[in-house]
Amino acid sequence: MMDNELETDVARRTQARILDAANQVIAKVGYKRLRMEAVAKGSGITRQTIYNYFPNKQQLATAVLLREGALVNERAKNNIPDNLEGEALLSAAVLALVDAARAMPIFEGLFEEGSMGYVNELAEHSQVIERMMHDYWAPVIERIAATGRGRTDISVQRIEWWLSFVYRALLQRPAEDLDDRASMDALVRDFLAPAVMAR
């Protein structure tokens, strides 16, 4: 039993070192130029060992994105005030998620032009990413519905999909656009809110 626990602990720490190194490489050169050699050098772990954990760079990058995405969700949730309703709540939730993602070291590396195809494909076809987005948006949608503003003609799943799609689209905007809080708030209130909330 002790041997199994030790092996599990070693595997967990090895995987964490690999993910830490991959995170740094993606942050520096982007997903498109991610190479296992660079991850091996950064982690001090052989390429063969890395391949034992992650057979290809897509699976490695996915694991990094999932780990960082979970942290983004938690940070964003903590920055949504409890006393907001309606459009104000939706705007706060969108902006909190965008801000938390932009604070990730790998933000620019994942959302650069050459990497966006991978990010969008992963988001559209990964059930894990879908669940992660559900965990973030479901409480927001429930709070909106509790005040009588929820849409009943569209499924919650479609609303979550649309919010996630818009979120990814916003992350591709220039930094100066995202830093303009008044314009971002107006965008959510004027264009996103009518699509996901009852009037």
Q: What is the CATH number of the domain that holds 84?
A: 1.10.357
Domain count, the chain: 1
Is residue 46 assigned to a domain? Answer: no
Alpha-carbon distance values, 69 to 17, 155, 164 (Å): 18, 24, 13
Is residue 65 assigned to a domain? Answer: yes
Is residue 154 assigned to a domain? Answer: yes
Is residue 10 assigned to a domain? Answer: no
| Residue (of 45, 46, 22) closest to 35 by Cα position | 22
What is the predicted pLDDT for the residue at 114?
64
Whats the size of the chain, residue-wise? 199
Query: How high is the mean pLDDT in each 10-residue block of the chain (199 residues)?
Result: 64 94 90 91 96 92 87 95 96 97 81 67 73 94 95 94 91 89 96 93
What is the predicted pLDDT for the residue at 6?
56
What is the predicted pLDDT for the residue at 1?
44
Is residue 110 assigned to a domain? Answer: yes
Is residue 167 assigned to a domain? Answer: yes
Is residue 51 assigned to a domain? Answer: no
Q: Are 33 and 108 in contact (CB under 8 A)?
A: no
State the Cα angle at 51 between 49 and 54, rounded to 5°. 120
Q: What token pair was written down for 175?
A: 């930094």
Distance CA 24, CA 178 (A): 24
Report residue 52 CA to chain centroid gap. Answer: 25
Q: Are 92 and 80 in contact (CB under 8 A)?
A: yes
Q: For residue 114, what is the DSSP state?
A: T
Is residue 163 assigned to a domain? Answer: yes
Distance CA 136, CA 181 (A): 21
- Domain span at residue 171 reads 58-196
